[in-house]
């Protein structure tokens, strides 16, 4: 369903339009995700204060909300930013990091999901928790399930919320409740670097800024990240050099490499 | 006006004195700027709580205040730290990230500027906004203007505040309201890495700790960063490897390379 | 007292069990320490809100508390997390960054130490301050003393608190008040990268999750980091490339390299 031409076109549009992507994200990954956004050609900003998020969302082309390092004050900002984005037709993406691990996380995710995200991106445990299929106490922020185990949950969640739902893992799946796209790219080293899921979510934000078929936007971002991850892994000696090569690979990704490597269905 | 001997001398002094540089900066760049400060030989500390900033400023040799990820509680700490630095004759440097984008940012920058920074470092949009030349809504945290377009604004701002004002871009300019130094170093990859402007500001803090002609301090820091950026770009495959090589180049920068590359006027 | 076989066995156990390590740590190093934990095989999570730390500690195998970027709200979370860990028999590790530099830091460290950490890890200045041997105003967050100067202080602190106490420096020492282990590994480039002490503390957390002789756990973590640091320094051109190679070296560390390089006594 997803064509490599569509992925390349979306990446080219991100590079030419340089969308301003407003992130309210966790402390751990702010630097990586800003660099990943710059590497694909987007213009990242991290702005979190309740006193300014509404103003800032309005000048942005997309919003990314990630609940990795949460506090009630930040949840309030996330909710207001999501509401503002919705009202102004600015697509926003939710990353429900560690949902189910604590009541604060579950309450925040439930509250945010009602604000109409365009895309929800999580690992299998998170998406299953969100869909109410499991009452996970879980394994912290890393997934205990394979992504394929969450496709039904993702489909149900997409139908319920109207969002495109992406479950990332060895194979990534994106569904709008009807269609399901699968991306079989990436490399096991990606699980050895912190914030790779958060990076995926940030890139989905950049692509949603330029492509209003949000399933296509999310799948394109995941394909770009997965292919860049394979290129980087081919050059890396371990997770440290992988992280460096990943930014270089995102920055330098060309059509030929994308066509040769993308495994879409 | 600025000599390469003066730049080398300033760098050598930073390396030998290892000034303690107190940073109240944004979450995105704390790690990079700490590493850049260590790479030039300074001793960085990140301390933000209102309960301790005044004590901490007093044991520091310079203070860096950066409003990238702002909240009212942090503004209060920044204001108190700036006041304390001023009273104790400790030079402090202001980076007005994204000023003009929101009311919170503009109010914070206006409040801080009254606390007598020794140096203000921004991109062209930020410096023009500060100087009241434009009522920018702007482009988030990245600049929409070339640096040369802000030299008059910088000069006016320097006269009004008594600070040395640095506008960074393809060419960097520093002025104290009378003199204008220009540094034509750097590389376009620097715009593809997050927090390069914040790194410039942090290094200005380290140099201001050892050189009380603040125009010379700021210009020296920018020359060192620009030359190191060129060296790093010559070794890099993209923004990921650039960032790594930049720290190595700052750490290893020798007189010969500085003399060969610095383009000062 | 510490055998290289014991170190290898502890590392192998971390790799196979992948303990969930809950970190309440400073903004500067969250990304590095998460990556270092992943590189040795642990599963890191950064969770700080007072509303969720107690729940999160209970699903973790170890807790790391680091006071690098402090505020009273975070101290409250740290105290509750420490208490919860103690009650549930989950080992927790304290890093008293910059203790003595401000009253907030000293009060926080004194408060936390009463919560029964399994291990305390600091530089010589911090451990001496904690032990009440000096009333340090100090040198910010970097140590002004050699590690050997703090061994007596470490021993006294260990006796007083019941914790294993690690003093890191050119030689690292760990004591439980009776035994003293020494690790003579590492490289001077480690002092040119921010958060290397914090990384040491985080790794001690991972090892304490799988080894209840906390002196052995701490010494093993420091030996692994020191040997990986030597391997990385052999490949590095400066602090930027060092940081990258360090993660690769932690990830790829094999028995042969550990046996050849570890200098334990």
Separation in Å, CA C264 to CA A16, B62, C99, C261: 56, 40, 28, 9
Q: How far apart are CA C92 and CA B134, in angstroms?
A: 53
Residue C202 near residue C64 (C-beta atoms within 8 A): yes
Query: Does B243 contact A30 at a Cβ distance shorter than 8 Å?
Result: no
Query: Does A247 contact B240 at a Cβ distance shorter than 8 Å?
Result: yes
Q: What is the pLDDT of residues B173-192, one digit of tens each?
A: 999 999 999 999 999 999 99
**Which chains neighbour C (Cβ–Cβ under 8 Å, 3 or more pairs)?**
A, B
- Measured at the CA of C239, the angle between CA C138 and CA C70, to 5 degrees, comes to 40
User: What per-residue confidence (pLDDT) applies to A147?
Assistant: 82
Q: What is the pLDDT of residues C213-233, one digit of tens each?
A: 999 999 999 999 999 999 999
Mutate to test the interface with A, among B25, B28, B241 (most CBs of A within 10 A): B28
Q: How far apart are CA B207 and CA B11, in angstroms?
A: 7
Name the residue facing A238 among C55, C60, C251 (closest C-beta).
C251
Q: How far apart are CA A233 and CA A187, in angstroms?
A: 7
Residue C131 near residue C86 (C-beta atoms within 8 A): no
User: What per-residue confidence (pLDDT) applies to A145?
Assistant: 73
Within the 152-181 window of chain B, which residues sit less than 8 Å (CB to CB) from chain A? none
> How far away is chain A from the Cα of C245, in angstroms, using its nearest Cα?
6
Tokens 């002196």, residue located: C215
Q: What is the pLDDT of residues A158-215, one digit of tens each?
A: 999 999 999 999 999 999 999 999 999 999 999 999 999 999 999 999 999 999 999 9
Separation in Å, CA B261 to CA B40, B184, B264: 18, 10, 9
B135/A contact by beta carbon, under 8 A: no
Tokens 């590359």, residue located: B261
B47/C contact by beta carbon, under 8 A: yes
> How far away is chain C from the Cα of B55, in angstroms, using its nearest Cα?
6
Q: How far apart are CA C53 and CA C33, in angstroms?
A: 19
Portion of chain A with pLDDT greater than 90, in percent: 92
Q: How far apart are CA A122 and CA A115, in angstroms?
A: 17
> How far away is chain B from the Cα of A109, in angstroms, using its nearest Cα?
23
Nearest C-alpha neighbor of B201 from the set B62, B89, B72: B62
User: What per-residue confidence (pLDDT) applies to B1?
Assistant: 67
Q: What is the pLDDT of residues A5-55, one digit of tens each?
A: 999 999 999 999 999 999 999 999 999 999 999 999 999 999 999 999 999
Q: What is the pLDDT of residues C92-126, one digit of tens each?
A: 999 999 999 999 999 999 999 999 999 999 999 99
Query: Does A27 contact C38 at a Cβ distance shorter than 8 Å?
Result: no
Average pLDDT on C163-185 reads 97
User: What per-residue confidence (pLDDT) applies to B145?
Assistant: 73
Chain A residue with minimum CA distance to B237? A248
Crossing angle, helix A72-87 and helix A103-113, to 10 degrees?
A: 10
Residue C158 confidence (pLDDT) above 70: yes
User: What per-residue confidence (pLDDT) applies to B133?
Assistant: 52
Query: Does A56 contact B243 at a Cβ distance shorter than 8 Å?
Result: no
Handedness of CA A108, A113, A118, A124 (dihedral sign): positive
| Predicted ipTM > 0.90 | yes
Residues 6 or more apart in contact with residue C164 via CB below 8 angstroms: C118, C119, C120, C158, C174, C175, C176, C214, C215, C217, C218
Nearest C-alpha neighbor of B91 from the set B200, B213, B230: B213
Q: How far apart are CA C178 and CA C172, in angstroms?
A: 16
Name the residue facing B46 among C28, C71, C241 (closest C-beta).
C28
Q: How far apart are CA C141 and CA C151, in angstroms?
A: 19
**What is the arrangement of strands in the sheet containing B119-123, beginning at the earlier edge strand?**
B43-46, B20-24, B62-66, B92-95, B119-123, B164-168, B172-175, B180-183
| pLDDT band, very low/low/confident/very high, at B144 (cuts 50, 70, 90) | low
Query: Does A71 contact C51 at a Cβ distance shorter than 8 Å?
Result: yes
Chain C residue with minimum CA distance to A32? C31
Query: Does B52 contact C195 at a Cβ distance shorter than 8 Å?
Result: no
> How far away is chain A from the Cα of B177, in angstroms, using its nearest Cα?
31
Q: How many Cβ pairs closer than 8 A exist between chain A and B? A: 102
User: What per-residue confidence (pLDDT) applies to B258?
Assistant: 98
> How far away is chain B from the Cα of A128, in angstroms, using its nearest Cα?
31
Length of chain A: 265
User: What per-residue confidence (pLDDT) applies to A134?
Assistant: 44
Q: How far apart are CA A191 and CA A195, in angstroms?
A: 9
Residues 6 or more apart in contact with residue C76 via CB below 8 angstroms: C50
Q: What is the pLDDT of residues B238-253, one digit of tens each?
A: 999 999 999 999 999 9
Residues 6 or more apart in contact with residue C56 via CB below 8 angstroms: A101, A102, A140, C22, C45, C47, C81
Portion of chain B with pLDDT greater than 90, in percent: 92
Within the 113-132 window of chain A, which residues sit less than 8 Å (CB to CB) from chain B? none
Q: How far apart are CA C13 and CA B23, in angstroms?
A: 39
DSSP C99: T
Mutate to test the interface with A, among B139, B238, B245, B246 (most CBs of A within 10 A): B238
> How far away is chain B from the Cα of C126, in angstroms, using its nearest Cα?
15
Q: What is the pLDDT of residues A43-64, one digit of tens each?
A: 999 999 999 999 999 999 999 9
Chain B residues with CB-CB distance to C72 below 8 A? 49, 51
Tokens of B72: 């009212």
Tokens 């309740």, residue located: A50
Length of chain B: 265
Q: What is the pLDDT of residues A125-152, one digit of tens each?
A: 999 999 985 444 444 566 667 888 899 9
Other CB atoms within 10 A of residue C233 CB: 18
| pLDDT band, very low/low/confident/very high, at C147 (cuts 50, 70, 90) | confident
Q: How many Cβ pairs closer than 8 A exist between chain B and C? A: 101
Nearest C-alpha neighbor of A74 from the set A46, A49, A100: A49
Query: Does C194 contact B44 at a Cβ distance shorter than 8 Å?
Result: yes
In three-state secondary structure terms, B163 is coil
Nearest C-alpha neighbor of A187 from the set A246, A144, A146: A246
Q: How far apart are CA A110 and CA B88, in angstroms?
A: 50
> How far away is chain B from the Cα of A214, in angstroms, using its nearest Cα?
24
E strand intervals along B119-171: 119-123, 164-168
Within the 81-100 window of chain A, which residues sit less than 8 Å (CB to CB) from chain C? 98
Chain C residues with CB-CB distance to B35 below 8 A? 193-194, 239-240, 243
Chain A residues with CB-CB distance to C239 below 8 A? none
C68/B contact by beta carbon, under 8 A: yes
Residue B166 near residue B95 (C-beta atoms within 8 A): no
Residue C135 confidence (pLDDT) above 60: no
Chain B residues with CB-CB distance to A34 below 8 A? 28, 194-195
Q: What is the pLDDT of residues A68-88, one digit of tens each?
A: 999 999 999 999 999 999 999
Chain B residue with minimum CA distance to A250? B238
Look at A13 and B145; give whichever has higher pLDDT.
A13
Q: Record the pTM.
A: 0.95
Nearest C-alpha neighbor of C33 from the set A195, B164, B171, A149: A195
A135/C contact by beta carbon, under 8 A: no
Residue C78 near residue C65 (C-beta atoms within 8 A): yes
Q: What is the pLDDT of residues C46-84, one digit of tens each?
A: 999 999 999 999 999 999 999 999 999 999 999 999 999
Other CB atoms within 10 A of residue B46 CB: 24
Within the 13-32 window of chain C, which residues sit less than 8 Å (CB to CB) from chain A? 20, 22, 27, 30-31
Average pLDDT on C138-144 reads 58
Residue B135 confidence (pLDDT) above 70: no
Q: How far apart are CA A100 and CA A236, in angstroms?
A: 34
Task: Note the helical H segments in A18-150.
Answer: 30-40, 53-58, 72-87, 103-113, 124-130
Q: How far apart are CA B32 and CA B29, in angstroms?
A: 5
Chain B residue with minimum CA distance to C195? B31
User: What per-residue confidence (pLDDT) applies to A80?
Assistant: 98
């Amino acid at each position: 369903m997803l064509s490599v031409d569509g992925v390349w076109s979306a990446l080219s549009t991100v590079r030419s339009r340089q969308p301003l992507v407003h992130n309210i994200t966790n402390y751990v990954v702010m630097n990586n995700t800003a660099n990943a956004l710059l590497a694909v050609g987007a213009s990242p900003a991290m702005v979190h204060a309740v006193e300014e998020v509404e103003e800032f969302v309005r000048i942005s082309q997309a919003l990314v909300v990630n609940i990795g390092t949460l506090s009630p004050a930040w949840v309030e900002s996330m909710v207001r930013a999501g509401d503002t984005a919705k009202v102004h037709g600015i697509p926003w993406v939710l990353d429900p990091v560690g949902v189910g691990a604590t009541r604060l996380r579950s309450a925040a995710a439930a509250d945010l999901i009602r604000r109409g995200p365009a895309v929800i991106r999580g690992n299998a445990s998170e998406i299953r928790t969100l869909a109410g299929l499991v009452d996970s106490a879980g394994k912290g922020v890393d997934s205990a399930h394979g992504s394929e185990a969450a496709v039904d949950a993702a489909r149900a969640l997409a139908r319920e919320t109207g969002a495109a739902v992406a479950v990332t893992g060895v194979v990534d799946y994106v569904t709008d409740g009807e269609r399901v796209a699968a991306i079989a790219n990436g490399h096991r080293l990606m699980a050895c670097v912190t914030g790779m899921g958060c990076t995926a979510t940030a890139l989905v934000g950049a692509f949603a800024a330029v492509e209003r078929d949000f399933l296509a936007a999310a799948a394109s971002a995941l394909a770009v990240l997965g292919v860049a991850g394979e290129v980087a892994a081919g050059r890396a000696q371990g997770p440290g050099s992988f992280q460096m090569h990943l930014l270089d690979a995102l920055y330098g990704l060309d059509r030929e490499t994308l066509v040769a490597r993308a495994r879409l269905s």
